[in-house]
Chains A and B, each alone.
Chain A
């Protein structure tokens, strides 16, 4: 416990404290031109402590301070009914649902592709280069087009966003699972052959269990980028709900606080999702007797 405190907790705390200090200093520096203009316009004499206090509490600051963002979060997360359209919980839940759907679709697709690649040689040779090439297409950049095109054929709402998330999420899962399904040693495969095990049995008894330690790290990456995909998919014109739409409307109306609050909620969501997958990883490996 003491070891953990000094080895990890203290350094991380120091770094975070340093970030907060730099943040407040930067807020003074970045917000002061506007504040000085205001003083000149109002014809007030100002002192340094007054300038500092005012730059930290502007209405539409260039860089809002942490306590301002916290105030905004308090207002839109805790002190508002979650069903209200102005509540961030409402928007977060919309983004979350398309993230989860896209993540599930992407994971299933990635696993299926990996199984195909491991078992069919021609798929291995012809598909793998294209899977890698598929990720150099900046899908995030064309996400708005996909939304519009799918909207033209009557698909709107959750599914198009989930499709973009799944396009991003399938890649790490496919790559990780190919590696994982190939991870059993030749010795083990030979042993199962001496048992005259069917391909089905080899898959479920050997390949699948040995691929699980590869699946979970891949899923951690996948869920993080699934969230990014869902947020960007909410950017295009017409999106009225979701964290991405919140970013966009905050940008249009110059509401910096709204942008930062949405960003913080997105960050918290990402952290939560990644740690849930990490927890599931530990649980499964522990149940299978593979925990270290």
Chain B
């Protein structure tokens, strides 16, 4: 289902308003952008050339970005008309692009990557245009370009924070928490009595605000990264244990019977059948834990830390109203979080390729 044509139709008046408004006010770049938009909106309204309108919207966006210094803080109706028109055109182009059903498989894959990518790109462009065009104070929301400049300008600080928080606290805590949870599940699984007792308790603990133990851990293990790793251990342990226990139950009666007819030992059954079947559950826990671990380490740093670390940087730079540095840290955290999640998803795909959810 595509969005109705009015979307493209709306872009036309917006482009007209934008062009006229731009001619009335200074700013040569905006006029050019308006003309480009006008042409592509006309094109979109009369024929089905969505490549043209998508391209036109991109060109117009580039022109508007170039014109920003001239109109900053004092953008007139021409500027906003152009922004609106460019946005509508881009929206329409994305809609048509996502409705497109290519025959070749690689084109389909390209489309699956391109649509969200364009969407995100447009989000950034709109963010930049609106923040700088309307003169939003940078304390409220800095422009993406300012955040980018801050990242590029303070790489050593970011690297030091990354080392302290991620490489030391998160990775150590994650490795310990996940492996101890896994081994605990293997041991508990040998006793049905313990399983029945620990599963409800573990499920309940998983719903608790465990992050609240952060102050206790800082009291026990000191200000350095050890206390953060301890918080991560506690946060990752229970999801891992509960998921592994559930995964070890994934083998059905008939699978067990088959292993029994092979006279397989406990170890053989575990290694050849139950653990492979449990892998989807284990990876589920690994994915949940990868985001939990980062959150736990950063929040624990709010309760005191040496003068380095992502959480420390966030809380001190807020105090100094350096919001662009905070956003640089957020960007880093988001990239690191997505990268770890993606890495685990890739490993999962390699290990559990046999699982029905990957079949085509």
Instruction: List residues of A whose CB falls within 8 A of some B CB.
Output: 7-8, 10-16, 19, 30, 62, 119-122, 124-130, 133, 135-138, 140-142, 144-145, 148-149, 152-153, 220, 224, 227-228, 231-232, 235-237, 243-244, 247-248, 250-251, 254, 256, 259-260, 262-263, 266-267, 270-271, 274
Do B219 and A140 have beta carbons less than 8 Å apart?
no
List 9 additional A-B contacts (Cβ < 8 Å) besides A122-B99, A244-B212, A266-B209.
Answer: A15-B194, A121-B1, A129-B116, A138-B294, A141-B311, A142-B333, A149-B139, A247-B212, A271-B208
Do A251 and B315 have beta carbons less than 8 Å apart?
no
Chain B residue at minimal CB-CB distance from A259: B215
**Cβ–Cβ < 8 Å partners of B212 in chain A:** 231, 243-244, 247, 262-263, 266
Q: How many chain B residues touch A (Cβ–Cβ < 8 Å)?
A: 59
Chain B residue at minimal CB-CB distance from A136: B337
Does B115 touch A at the CB level, under 8 Å?
Answer: yes
Does B204 touch A at the CB level, under 8 Å?
Answer: yes
Do B201 and A16 have beta carbons less than 8 Å apart?
yes
Do B338 and A248 have beta carbons less than 8 Å apart?
no
Q: List 21 A-B contacts (CB under 8 A).
A: A8-B196, A12-B200, A15-B198, A121-B2, A122-B3, A125-B116, A128-B116, A130-B120, A137-B330, A138-B334, A138-B337, A140-B299, A144-B302, A220-B207, A236-B315, A236-B318, A256-B216, A259-B215, A267-B209, A271-B207, A271-B208
CA distance in complex: A237, B318 (Å): 10
Set B3, B94, B193, B213: member contacting A11, Cβ < 8 A: B193
**Cβ–Cβ < 8 Å partners of A119 in chain B:** 1
**Cβ–Cβ < 8 Å partners of A8 in chain B:** 196, 200
Do B116 and A14 have beta carbons less than 8 Å apart?
no
Within 8 A of A (CB), among B175-201: 193-198, 200-201
**Cβ–Cβ < 8 Å partners of B263 in chain A:** none
CA distance in complex: A122, B98 (Å): 6
Within 8 A of A (CB), among B313-360: 314-315, 318-319, 323, 326, 329-330, 333-334, 337-338, 341
CA distance in complex: A153, B302 (Å): 24
B193 to chain A minimum Cβ distance, whole angstroms, is: 5
CA distance in complex: A124, B99 (Å): 11
Interface residues as binary, B163-184 with A (CB distance below 8 Å gives 1, 0 otherwise)? 0000000000000000000000
Do A270 and B1 have beta carbons less than 8 Å apart?
no
